[in-house]
Chains A and B, each alone.
Chain A
Amino acid sequence: MKLHLKIWRQKDSQSKGEFKAYTLEDVDQELSFLEMLDTLNLKLVKKGDYPVEFDHDCREGICGQCGMMINGIAHGPIKNLTTCQLHMRSFKDGDTIYIEPFRAAAFPIVRDLKVNRSSLDHIITSGGYVSVDTGQAPEANSIPIAHEVAEAAFDAAACIGCGACVASCKNASAALFTSAKITQLELLPQGQTETSKRVVAIVNQMEEEGFGHCTNTEACQVECPEDISVLNIPRMNYEYNKAKILNK
C-alpha cells in the first residue's frame, strides 16, 4: 500500500520544528508501525538524509519506550495499545498519516519524535519506592497478601510509563501515572507504612515538573496501553488530602 507521511522534524529542543512530507510505496500490511518507520529511515539513510528519530526498545508492548501521536491520537487509532503493537493493517492504501511527538511542557523534544520523559522518572524517584533494610532476602510468605489485593496492586503496577496519559490529557496531567504508582505501593503491606510521606512527596514532584491538573475527562485510561484505571486518581486525591489534613 501507498502511504503519505507527515512527520514532525525538529533538530533539537531549541530549534523550530516543522512537518516534512514523505511518501512510501509498497508498504506491507504486516509491518508494525515502527517497522514502517524503519523502512522510511533506511531510505533516508541511503539518500544521505538524517533518519527520523524515535524512541523504541522491546517492540513487544511492555517497555513503554515507544510512543508518538499518530493522526492526533497517542499510540494511534487502536485503544489500549502501544505504538509498536500497531500494525499497518490498521491503515488504508493512500492514507495520509500525521506523526507528531508527545506534547507537554514537561516533555521537551529531544529530536523529531523523541521526547525527554525524565520528568516521569523524577516522580518515581521522589517516592515511588519502598524503603527496606538491607540484608538477606526475607521469607516470601512471612507477610500474607490476599490474591485479590496482589492482583489489584499488579493492575496499577502494569503502568509502563510511556506518557500516553500525559499526551492524551487536555491539561497534560500526569495524574494517571502518578496515582497508579501510589496505588500499587499503597495496596501492599510493604508500601503501606510510607503512604503519607510518599503521596505528599510524589504529588509535589508532579507539580514541580510542570504537569497540569486532572479534570477527570478520563481520556487517559482510554488511550493507556495498559488500561490503567482512572479510579487510581481519586485514590491519590484521597490519600493526599488525608496526609495533609492529618499532617502526618
Chain B
Amino acid sequence: MWYLKNALTRKNLMALTGLFLSFFLIIHLVGNLQLLLPEAEAQLQYNWYSRLLADNIFIKIIAMVLYLCILLHTIDAIYLTIKSKKAQGAGYAKDKRGRASKWYARNMMFLGSIVFLFLVIHFKDFWYQFKFGEMPLDANGNKDLYTLVVEAFDQLWYVILYVIAIIALGYHLLHGVFSAHRTLGLYHPLYSKIVKYLGIIYTVIMTIGYIIIPIFIYLNR
C-alpha cells in the first residue's frame, strides 16, 4: 500500500481534490450570482435553476464526486498534518522561520478548518433544508430556496460569518491553487509563474464574488 503511506502520493490526492473543489467554486459562483437579479425575477429564476440542478443526473453524479472530494481533502489534510507534527521534532524555543514564507502558506490547516466549519453550517442551512427539509413553494411550484437564502442574509451576524469564512477561503485558495500545480509537478519556471498569477486572479475573483452576494442582499432588503 505504498500509495497510502507515501506523502508525495497523498499530496497528489490533496492537489487533485483541491483543484476539483476550486473548479466547483467557479460553477457555484456563476449560479449564485443569479441571486443579485431584481427580486421578483431572481426568485423564480433561482428556484428554477436549483431544481434544474437537483433533477439532473449528470449534476447528481458530479455532486457525489464533490462530497467525496471534500471528505478526501479533509481526511488527507488531517493525515498530513499529523505526519508533519511527527517530523518536526521538539520545535524551537525562539522561532523566526516565518520571515521566509507567507503566513497563509504556513496555516493552510487552520484556514481549511475555518472553511470546513463554515461548510457544516452552509450545508445544514441550505443543502440539508433543500434536500430533506420542509420547503414552501414559489409561484411556479419550485421549492423556494431563494427566500430561504435571502432571509438568512437579512441577519447581520450571518453576513459577517460568511464574509469571515470567505476571506479564510480566499487565503486558502491563494496558496492552494498555486501549491497544487507544484505538487502535481509543474516545474517550468515560466509556466509556474503564469499559474501563480492566474491563481491570484482566480482567487481575487472568487473572494470578491462570494463576498458580494451576502453583502448585496443584506444592503438591498
Cβ A219 vs Cβ B97 within 8 A: yes
Given contacts A72-B95, A215-B108, A218-B105, contact A207 B6 (CB under 8 A): yes
**CB proximity of B5 to chain A, nearest CB, Å:** 7
B100 pairs with A171, CB closer than 8 A: no
> Residue-by-residue, is A68-81 near B (CB-CB < 8 Å gives 1, otherwise 0)?
01011110000100
Query: Smallest Cβ distance from A144 to chain B, in angstroms?
Result: 24
The CA-CA distance from A28 to B86 in the complex, in Å, is 41
- In the bound complex, how far is the Cα of B84 from the Cα of A215, in angstroms? 10
Q: How far is the CA of A232 from the CA of B192 in the complex (A)?
A: 12
Query: With A103-B89, A171-B84 in contact, do A73 and B96 touch (Cβ < 8 Å)?
Result: yes
Known interface pairs A19-B93, A72-B92; A211-B101 also in contact (CB < 8 Å):
no
Contact A219 B88, CB 8 Å, known A71-B94, A232-B187, A234-B182: no
Binds A, one of B7-15, B123-131, B161-169: B7-15
Indicate if the CB atoms of B84 and A233 lie closer than 8 Å. Answer: no
Q: 1/0 contact trace for B182-204 toward A, CB 8 Å? A: 11111101001000000000000
Closest to B175 in A: A216
CA distance A179 to B184 in the complex (A): 14
B99 within 8 A of A: yes
Contact residue among A100, A215, A220, A240 (Cβ-Cβ distance under 8 Å from B179):
A215
Interface size class of A (residues with CB under 8 A): 35 or more
For the complex, is A107 an interface residue (Cβ under 8 Å from B)? Answer: yes
Interface residues of A in 194-231 (CB under 8 A from B): 203-204, 207, 210-220, 222-223, 230-231
- A217 touching B96 in the complex, CB below 8 Å, given contacts A103-B88, A231-B192, A238-B187: no
Main secondary structure of the interface of A (DSSP, over half): mixed
Q: Which residues of chain A have C-beta atoms less than 8 A from B189's C-beta?
A: 231
B residues contacting the other copy or chain, number (CB 8 A): 43
Minimum Cβ distance to chain A for residue B81 (Å): 9
Candidate in B10, B83, B181 with the most chain A CB atoms within 10 angstroms: B83
Q: Is A116 on the interface with B (CB-CB < 8 A)?
A: no
The answer to whether B80 and A213 have CB atoms under 8 Å apart is yes
Q: Is the CB–CB distance between B185 and A235 below 8 Å?
A: yes
Q: How far is the CA of A98 from the CA of B95 in the complex (A)?
A: 10
Q: Is the CB of A105 within 8 A of B92?
A: no
Check B105–A105 contact: CB distance below 8 A: no
Residues in B whose Cβ lies below 8 Å from that of A73: 96-97, 99-100
Inter-chain contact A237/B185, CB cutoff 8 Å: yes
* 143-190 of chain B: CB within 8 A of chain A: 175, 178-179, 181-187, 189
On whether the beta carbons of B87 and A168 are closer than 8 Å, the reply is no
The distance in angstroms between the C-alpha atoms of A217 and B106, with both chains bound, is: 7
CA distance A215 to B18 in the complex (A): 13
A11 to B148, CA, bound (A): 66
Interface residues of A in 168-182 (CB under 8 A from B): 168, 170-173
A218–B101 Cα distance when bound, in Å, is 6
Q: CB-CB contacts of B118-137 with A at 8 A, as 1s and 0s?
A: 00000000000000000000
CB atoms of B88 and A216 under 8 A apart: no
Residues of A within 8 A of B (CB): 8, 19, 69, 71-74, 79, 98, 100, 103-107, 168, 170-173, 203-204, 207, 210-220, 222-223, 230-235, 237-242, 244
Residues of B within 8 A of A (CB): 2, 5-12, 80, 83-84, 86-97, 99-102, 105-106, 108, 175, 178-179, 181-187, 189, 192
Having A100-B94, A213-B80, one finds 13 other A-B pairs with CB under 8 Å, namely: A73-B99, A168-B100, A170-B97, A212-B7, A212-B83, A212-B87, A216-B179, A217-B101, A217-B105, A218-B101, A231-B187, A235-B187, A238-B184
List 25 interface pairs A-B (beta carbons < 8 Å), by A numbering. Answer: A19-B93, A69-B92, A73-B96, A73-B99, A98-B93, A105-B88, A170-B88, A170-B97, A170-B106, A171-B84, A210-B86, A212-B88, A213-B7, A213-B80, A213-B84, A214-B11, A216-B182, A216-B183, A219-B97, A220-B100, A234-B185, A235-B185, A237-B11, A238-B184, A241-B184
